[in-house]
Homo-oligomer: A and B are copies of this chain.
Amino acid sequence: MKAEIICVGTELLLGQIVDTNAAYLAQVLAQQGIDLYYKSTVGDNRQRLVALLQQAWKRADLIFVSGGLGPTLDDLTREALALLVHEELEEDPGARRAVEEYFRRRNRTMSQNNLRQATRPKSAICLPNPYGTAPGLWLEKDGRVVVALPGVPLEMKNLVEREVLPRLRRKSGADSSVLCSRVLKVVGMGESAVEEQIMDLMTGQENPTIAPLAKRGEVRLRLTAKARSEKEARELIKPVEEKIRARLKGYVFGADRKLLEEAVGKRLAAGGFTLGVAESCTGGLISHRITGVPGSSTYFQMGIVAYSNRCKQKLLGVDKELLRKYGAVSPQTARAMAEGMREHCGVDVALSTTGIAGPGGGTPKKPVGLVYLALAHAGGTIVRRENFSWDRENNKTAAAQAGLVLLWEFLGGISPGENSENH
């Protein structure tokens, strides 16, 4: 079964709303194992909507239309469907009663145009919509199914779950398949380096497929399997996941919704370590991410956002002379901040950041995006240098991510890596 999604609404083409309905419908199709090849959006224009429906009619068996079922003149989906299948619109008695009842229950006056919502092409059936006045439509003809859904997300989702999915499952019968995905998350290796390690796995098989996606400071590998049941799909994914984990060693920190700060927290808790964070350029973001994890208070003791030099001296005991000699953004200061945090505040592991987030403050020798990170532990201190080249927000984000990566690698016993420096 091949599907298409058509979203209708001029507001979507003006960019005034983000189309979350399409993403939801796409997920539903994926879970049912139905291939989706195209998603299209069109405005409230009769001619273009009909043209798009005719095109979809040629290349798909199942067409979802979202939006355009309202009561006003620019709601054209019903009309366009009638034109598509060369039928007249007729009133549905049940739908009419539902619309009238909707207004009666709310003590509101129904206007005549609300009755437009009770019409449907002759061969369509109305799908009752308890949350609004627009029923959905289910139209089967010439081996194709067209499902029209209201654009209001709550109404749309309710109709999909209560009315559309059961019908779809009945139609597709026992031969239907499901699609399952699992996302492996990798830090400490770039996208191309990851790809090189697993190239043969990526090209050598089709079920599951492996698709890489780089997010700043993190590489994600999406494994998608198609099978007759979710269980079977998970079983296809499992051995491939194991191979990938073996190839990428300790660099896979989790899967699906797992966050790096959770993975780090788990290692801290398992080792019985307490943590303190001394942040300059990341301005509190590392503490914020770490404290976003429920239960983080068992290992996270404190954070200091040491923005001023005075604070670096007073709260972290960084030597004034050292700051004068090397500057606040230097490997020496990063080291002193981490070691000061560890000693003064009595934590087992201390992480520090100092850098130039931008847009101001850069020099040729110390450009915007230069960041030093340090991690002080019982066995010594690791110092790492990074060079980012984004705006303030993204430099902070990237530096915070680099701090968590450093913690993750240290706690997992991975060596500091090529761009680390030991001063």
- Which residues on A are within 8 Å of B, measured CB to CB? 10-20, 22-30, 36-45, 48, 52, 70-74, 105-111, 113-114, 130-131, 154, 179, 181, 190-193, 195-196, 202-203, 211-214, 222, 224, 277, 279, 282-288, 290-292, 294-297, 300-308, 310-311, 314-315, 345, 357-360, 386-387, 389-394, 396, 418-419
- What separation, in Å, do the CA atoms of A129 and B190 have in the docked complex? 19
Residues of B within 8 A of A283 (CB): 287-288, 290-292, 296, 303
Contact A419 B108 (CB under 8 A): yes
Cβ contacts under 8 Å, A311 to chain B: 301-302, 345
Q: Which 4 A-B pairs have the closest CB atoms?
A: A283-B291, A284-B287, A15-B26, A303-B305
Measured in the bound complex, the distance between the Cα atoms of B74 and A214 in whole Å is 13
22 A–B pairs (Cβ distance < 8 Å), ordered by A = A11-B213, A14-B181, A16-B27, A16-B181, A22-B41, A38-B41, A38-B52, A40-B40, A71-B192, A111-B193, A154-B391, A283-B287, A283-B296, A284-B305, A285-B288, A291-B396, A297-B307, A297-B308, A301-B310, A303-B304, A304-B305, A315-B345
B304 touches A291 (CB 8 A): no
User: With A288-B283, A305-B302 in contact, is A294–B360 under 8 Å at CB?
Assistant: yes
Chain B residues, CB < 8 A from A13: 26, 30, 36-37, 39
Known: A13-B26, A74-B211. A40 touches B37 (CB 8 A): no
When the two chains form their complex, are residues B300 and A307 in contact, meaning their CB atoms are under 8 A apart?
yes
Beyond the given A14-B224, A15-B24, A311-B345, could you list 17 further A-B residue pairs with CB under 8 A, ordered by the A residue number? A11-B213, A13-B30, A14-B36, A18-B19, A19-B22, A38-B40, A70-B191, A72-B192, A107-B418, A130-B389, A283-B290, A284-B305, A291-B396, A295-B360, A297-B307, A302-B305, A315-B345
Once the chains bind, are B23 and A292 in contact (CB under 8 Å)?
Answer: no
A117 to B251, CA, bound (A): 26
Q: Known contacts being A37-B13, A131-B389, A307-B301, is A111 close to B192, with CB within 8 Å?
A: yes
